[in-house]
């Protein structure tokens, strides 16, 4: 145990810190001998033959799927739907003639996701699983498999498998986009390297994040993460992580939707963490944050360089906006980690949670 954790006090701390090297490893693993990102032709042909992609996943993998949808639709121009595994079997969407299914799962063993995959196999549709555990059930059950190459994820709260899922989905988007002509030029290798550097810069200076976590978050009775677009998707993952590790009830919410009910929950001092990484919606998100502030919220902001303002709490290095979730999620993982520690929780094994829900 002690050996595997090395210098780290927990697996969670270790796995959060491994993310820059996981991104670099993924880039390396998916390069062919010409140094281009590539996937096996069986996989690309099957995806190119489809008219709609379905992503089915649970938990953090589902949250990664939301970001994946954005990547695939933007880069490869194929419509994508994202479904929660436990809903899929009972509320099956109307499926077009040529669907392609992506099953995201760190463990490759989640029962609900496997059940959805079993249905898809019954219908004889092609599928690809993205898993982190070689030889896991879903690697055998899907038509194709891609590995996340994130290395063993021991801590119950998923961190590096979230960013690994997004990176592999970005690679899939670029490979398909180049093949179907939606993308003119490869761009991802360089951008993912920038992402890895940006992650590392955040991980090298965690003092301010730790301070916010212990001084502002850890004493609160509830909290919010707000964002729009990709920032909203990260808000969902950030909230899941904060509640799962600190036990503070937290909601991730589309910033513009607060006024329709949820803003009633804002009290004097309620922490509201705003994510601001997308230029087209940055001003709107800031307006929404201001609306909570005038109701008493203690607003904290995580903003990307270039969109930052002097009083932002965390400024993340600038990366390609499509990939911003890979970087903006890091401070939110750290906030959850420090908050859990400060509250005396077992951050590797939060109460009531299992690493893999196989029943």
Residues annotated as catalytic are 355
Sign of CA dihedral 66, 68, 69, 74: positive
| Identified binder of ligand G6P from the candidate list 17, 19, 50, 60, rule CB under 6 A | 60
Alpha-carbon gap, residue 103 to 118, rounded angstroms: 11
Q: How far is CA 146 from CA 26, 41, 97, 211, 305, in A?
A: 11, 13, 24, 39, 33
Minimum distance from CB of 33 to ligand G6P (Å)? 31
User: In the numeric block, which tokens belong to residue 121?
Assistant: 């196999």
163 binds ligand G6P, rule: CB under 6 A:
no
Least Å distance between CB 187 and ligand G6P? 28
- Return the number of other C-beta atoms located less than 10 Å from residue 198's C-beta: 24
Minimum distance from CB of 139 to ligand G6P (Å)? 12
What is the nearest approach in angstroms of ligand G6P to the Cβ of residue 332? 15
| Binding to ligand G6P in span 98-117, by CB under 6 A | 105-107, 110, 113
Of 19, 50, 127, 158, the one binding ligand G6P (CB under 6 A) is: 158
Crossing angle for the helix pair 160-180 and 59-71, nearest 10 degrees? 30
- Closer CB to ligand G6P, 201 or 349, in the complex: 349
Does residue 61 touch ligand G6P according to CB under 6 A? yes
- Number of amino acids touching ligand G6P (CB under 6 A): 17
Which CB, 23 or 156, lies closer to ligand G6P? 156
Distances (CA, A) of 15 to 56, 202, 238: 24, 14, 16
Residue nearest to ligand G6P (CB): 59
Choosing from 74, 182, 313, 356, the residue that interacts with ligand G6P (CB under 6 A) is 356
Q: Is 59 in the site for ligand G6P (CB under 6 A)?
A: yes
355 forms part of the interface with ligand G6P (CB under 6 A): yes
Minimum CB separation of residue 97 from ligand G6P in Å reads 28
Contact pattern for ligand G6P over residues 62 through 101, marking x by CB under 6 A = ----------------------------------------
Task: Name the residue among 265, 328, 331, 254 with its Cα closest to residue 292.
Answer: 265
Stretch that binds ligand G6P, among 68-76, 155-163, 205-213, 318-326 (CB under 6 A): 155-163
SS (H, E, C) 128-187: EEEECCCCCHHHHHCCEEEECCCCCCCCCCCCHHHHHHHHHHHHHHHHHHHHHCCCCCCC
Query: Could you give the CA distance from residue 255 to residue 230 in angstroms, rounded to a whole number?
Result: 12
Query: In which element (H, E) is residue 240 found?
Result: helix 230-246
Tell me whether residue 208 or residue 354 sits nearer to ligand G6P (CB atom): 354
- Binding to ligand G6P, residues 314-353 (CB under 6 A): 353
Shorter beta-carbon distance to ligand G6P: residue 113 or 328: 113
Cα torsion 250, 253, 256, 261: sign: negative
Candidates 319, 300, 321, 296; CA nearest to 225 is 300
Nearer to ligand G6P by C-beta: 126 or 244?
244
Residues making contact with ligand G6P (CB under 6 A): 58-61, 105-107, 110, 113, 156-158, 353-357
């Amino acid at each position: 145990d002690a050996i595997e954790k090395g210098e780290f006090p927990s697996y969670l701390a270790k796995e959060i810190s491994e993310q820059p090297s996981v991104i670099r490893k993924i880039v390396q693993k998916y390069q062919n001998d010409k140094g281009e990102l590539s996937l096996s032709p069986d996989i690309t042909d099957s995806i190119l033959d489809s008219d709609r992609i379905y992503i089915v996943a649970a938990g953090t993998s589902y949250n990664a799927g939301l970001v994946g949808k954005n990547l695939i639709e933007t880069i490869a121009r194929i419509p994508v739907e994202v479904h929660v595994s436990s809903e899929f079997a009972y509320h099956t969407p109307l499926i077009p003639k040529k669907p392609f299914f992506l099953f995201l799962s760190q463990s490759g063993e989640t029962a609900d996701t496997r059940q959805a995959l079993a249905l898809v196999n019954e219908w004889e549709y092609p599928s690809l699983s993205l898993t982190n555990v070689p030889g896991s059930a879903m690697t055998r059950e899907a038509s194709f498999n891609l590995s996340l190459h994130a290395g063993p994820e021991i801590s119950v709260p998923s961190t590096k498998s979230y960013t690994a899922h997004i990176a592999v989905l970005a690679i899939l988007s670029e490979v398909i986009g180049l093949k179907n002509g939606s993308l003119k030029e490869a761009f991802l290798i360089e951008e993912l390297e920038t992402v890895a550097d940006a992650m590392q810069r955040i991980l090298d200076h965690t003092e301010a994040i730790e301070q916010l976590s212990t001084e502002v978050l850890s004493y609160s009775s509830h909290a919010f993460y707000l964002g729009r677009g990709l920032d909203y998707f990260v808000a969902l993952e950030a909230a899941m992580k904060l509640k799962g590790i600190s036990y503070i009830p937290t909601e991730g919410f589309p910033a513009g939707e607060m006024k329709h009910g949820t803003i009633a929950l804002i009290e004097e001092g309620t922490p509201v963490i705003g994510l601001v990484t997308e230029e087209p919606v940055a001003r709107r998100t800031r307006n929404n944050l201001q609306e909570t502030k005038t109701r008493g919220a203690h607003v904290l902001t995580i903003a990307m360089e270039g969109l930052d303002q002097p009083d932002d709490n965390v400024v993340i290095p600038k990366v390609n906006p499509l990939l911003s979730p890979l970087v903006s999620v890091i401070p939110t993982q750290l906030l959850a980690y420090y908050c859990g520690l400060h509250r005396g929780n077992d951050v590797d094994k939060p109460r009531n949670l299992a690493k893999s829900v196989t029943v």
